[in-house]
Amino acid sequence: MRHVSLALTLLLALVVSCGPVARGGSRGSTHGGRTSMSACGGDFGATNQAAKLEAFFLATARFHQAAFEAHDQLMTACRNTGLALGMTETELQGDLREVCTAAHDRLASELAALRASYTVRIEAQPPHCEVSVEAYGQCMAQCEAQVDPGEVQITCEGGEIRGYCDAECQGSCALDVAGQCAGTCEGACQGTCSAYAADGSCAGSCDGACQGRCVVSAQASCQGECRGGCSVTYREPYCTGRVRRPSASARCRASCDARIEAEARCTPGQANIAIEGGLDAEQQARLARVQQAMREGVSAILGLRERVQRLQQNGAEIIRLAPQIPEAAMAVSLGAVACATTAAAAMAEASASLTVSVEVSVSFNASVNAR
Per-residue pLDDT tens digits for 143-165: 876 555 556 677 788 788 899 99
Cα 97–chain centre separation: 19
Reported as a single tens digit per residue, the pLDDT across 213-268 is 899 998 778 989 999 889 998 988 888 877 877 677 888 888 988 998 898 887 77
% of residues, the chain, pLDDT over 70 = 86
Confidence of residue 4 (pLDDT cuts 50, 70, 90): very low
Paired residues of 34 in beta bridges: 31
Q: What is the mean pLDDT of the chain?
A: 82
pLDDT for res 32: 54
104-108, 123-127, 199-203: the lowest-pLDDT one: 123-127
Q: Which residues contact 72 (CB under 8 A, 6 or more apart)?
A: none
Mean pLDDT of 29-33: 54
Distance of CA 75 to CAs 80, 88, 295, 361, Å? 9, 15, 15, 11
Contact 206, 192 (CB under 8 A): yes
Residue 34 has pLDDT above 50, yes or no: yes
Q: Is the pLDDT of residue 187 over 60?
A: yes
* CA–CA gap between residue 51 and residue 56 (Å, rounded): 9
pLDDT of residue 226: 93
Report how far residue 302's alpha carbon sits from residue 369's, in angstroms, rounded to the nearest whole number: 11
* Cα 344 to Cα 57: distance, rounded to the nearest angstrom: 10
What is the pTM (predicted TM-score) of this model? 0.75
Closest by CA to 161, choosing from 253, 248, 230, is 230
- Among the ranges 13-22, 333-342, 344-353, which has the highest mean pLDDT value? 344-353
From the list 125, 278, 280, the residue with the least C-alpha distance to 197 is 125
Mean per-residue pLDDT for 120-129?
72
* Dihedral pair phi/psi, residue 125, rounded to 5°: -115, 110
Give the Cα separation of 22 and 44 in Å (integer): 8
pLDDT at 98: 96
35 membership: H or E segment, kind and range? strand 34-36
Q: Residue 108: is it exposed, middle or buried by C-beta count within 10 angstroms (0-12/13-18/19+)?
A: middle
Amino acid at site 14 = L
Which spans in 296-333 are helix H? 299-314, 316-321, 325-329
Amino acid at position 66, single letter: A
120, containing H or E segment: strand 119-125
**How many other β-carbons are positioned within 10 Å of the β-carbon of residue 272?**
18
178-210: b (≥16 Cβ within 10 Å) or e: eeebebbbbbbbbeebeebeebbbbbbbbebeb
